[in-house]
């Protein structure tokens, strides 16, 4: 069905990420590619100043290990872990653009109060993506 799929992974909701990845596998064309995208949001300066200098390096390393743990090398699927920095919705759409994706898959979480004012990541992706978007609850 789809040759290039972006799976937006929130490592704080790993069960949803696993379910999305499993569903992506069933939608992928033979020879296609799944790109697991996780976005590390920038730490505010006043917080970063109080943390050890290597905390960002550790965050990146830990996130990459968790992304790679979602994949099964024996499956024969082409799965690319993609770790990005910045605003989640923008980076997910940038990943889709960079890889010429056919589909973005993203989980929907229970919205918090701030989501009612600025919109959730999934809502922003749906409004602005240039390819198909599948939202899983």
In tens, the pLDDT along 67-80 reads: 999 988 878 899 99
Tell me, what's the pLDDT at 118?
46
- What is the distance of C-alpha 64 from the center of its chain? 12
Higher pLDDT, 19 or 116: 19
Three-class SS state of 114:
helix
CATH number, domain 2-130 = 3.40.50.620
Tell me, what's the pLDDT at 32?
96
Three-class SS state of 90:
helix
Report the b/e string of 6-44 with b at 16+ CB within 10 A. bbbbbeeeeebbeebbeebbeebeeebbbbbbbbbeeee
Domain boundaries, the chain: 2-130
Q: Which helix (H) or strand (E) holds 46?
A: helix 45-48
Give the CB-side neighbour count of residue 124, counting CA atoms within 13 A. Answer: 16
As a whole-number percent, the residues of the chain with pLDDT over 70 amount to: 88
In tens, the pLDDT along 14-59 reads: 999 999 999 999 999 999 999 999 999 876 666 766 777 787 788 8
pTM: 0.87
* Residue matched to tokens 């505010």: 44
Mean pLDDT of 107-134: 78
Strand runs labelled E in 69-108: 78-85, 103-107
- What residues are paired with 28 via a beta bridge? 2
């Amino acid at each position: 069905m789809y040759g290039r799929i972006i799976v937006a992974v929130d490592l704080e909701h790993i069960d949803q990420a696993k379910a999305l990845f499993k569903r992506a596998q069933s939608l992928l064309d033979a020879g296609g590619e799944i790109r697991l995208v996780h976005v590390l949001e920038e730490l505010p300066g006043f917080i970063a100043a109080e943390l050890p200098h290597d905390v960002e390096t550790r965050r990146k390393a830990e996130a990459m290990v968790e992304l790679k743990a979602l994949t099964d090398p024996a499956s024969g699927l082409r799965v690319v872990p993609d770790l990005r920095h910045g605003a989640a919705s923008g980076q997910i759409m940038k990943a889709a653009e960079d890889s010429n994706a056919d589909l973005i898959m993203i989980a929907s979480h229970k919205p918090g109060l701030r989501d009612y004012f600025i919109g959730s990541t999934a809502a922003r992706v749906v409004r602005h993506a240039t390819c198909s978007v599948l939202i899983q609850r």
